[in-house]
Amino acid sequence: MNATAKAISEPVAEFAIRTSKLNLWYGTFQALFDVDLNICNGMITSLIGPSGCGKSTLLRSVNRINERLGYVRIEGNIEVMDKNIYDPDVELVQVRKQIGMVFQRPNPLPISIRDNILFGHRIHNKGDKSSKSDQNEIVESALKQVLLLDKVKDRLNQRGTELSLEEQQKLCIARLLPVKPSVLLMDEPCSALDPKGTAAVEELIWELRGEYTILIVTHNMAQARRASEECIFMLMGKVVEHQATEDLFVTPEQKETADYIEGRYG
């Protein structure tokens, strides 16, 4: 597993996310078992597996939203950029800033497209009175990165909730970018979209690789194959296999993986 080329001058973590012996319980029900993962920096890694195997659970522990549920208990480590995010000196707001999340259902805020994109920026830069033109630049560059600029540049004051689902999902990705996260977590980001929207969002995710580490949950095997560089197969709360996507689909090492990608688990 070679990480993407990195500049020699600045030491960059080889792995953006590392979990070791990660166990998670919802009350008494154990949802994750000894998950050891090394997610390469700057790559797109997809997470596949049958329904209920713990994909969302894993994703949601990487930005610590699971702990909002009072009955969740976690053991083990999750390091993001070489820092254990469960350390006591870690500020939750900083975790959320570093690690953006995209949901299955696009959830733009009921404010203008422009304000949607500036929302995170404003929260994390209190008191910093960036000028109107700076803000315009932020909005423009975020929209450009998600390939949405041409479509909406004339109606930035329209509500984000009035866009099509595909555009909404792109907007939800765009609004994460101004605070410069290092990791983007996506939980089935295309499953509410039609095939055309799916293709468009996939294309966008592919464009973002290199700049962000992307961990994407999908039910769509073809999508995992098309739009990710590495792939993780999970089953019943355990990681079964983690390989370069091409290898995992062509020559899976585990029998369960082979069964799953041939459609024997549904």
Ligand X SMILES: Nc1ncnc2c1ncn2[C@@H]1O[C@H](COP(=O)(O)OP(=O)(O)OP(=O)(O)O)[C@@H](O)[C@H]1O
Contacting residues toward ligand X, per CB under 6 A: 26, 29, 31, 49, 51-57, 69
Q: What part of residues 216-245 is at the interface with another protein (CB under 8 A)?
A: none
Nearer to ligand X, 43 or 59 (CB): 59
Q: At what angle do helices 165-174 and 132-145 cross, to 10 degrees?
A: 120
Contact residue for another protein among 42, 108, 237, 252 (CB under 8 A): 108
Contact present, 32 and 23 (Cβ < 8 Å): yes
Nearer to ligand X, 68 or 132 (CB): 68
| Triad 109, 112, 118: Cα angle to 5° | 80
- SS3 readout for 134-164: HHHHHHHHHHHHCCCHHHHCCCCCCEHHHCC
Q: What part of residues 84-103 is at the interface with another protein (CB under 8 A)?
A: 92-97, 100-101, 103
Q: What part of residues 52-71 is at the interface with Mg ion (CB under 5 A)?
A: 56
Give the H/E segment covering residue 36.
strand 29-40
For strand 230-235 and strand 44-48, is the pairing parallel, antiparallel, or unpaired? parallel
Q: What does 65 bind: ligand X, Mg ion, another protein, none (CB cut-off 5 to 8 Å by kind)?
A: another protein
Give residues in contact with another protein (CB under 8 A): 63, 65, 68, 70, 92-97, 100-101, 103, 105, 107-111, 119-120, 123-124, 159, 161-162, 172, 175-176, 179
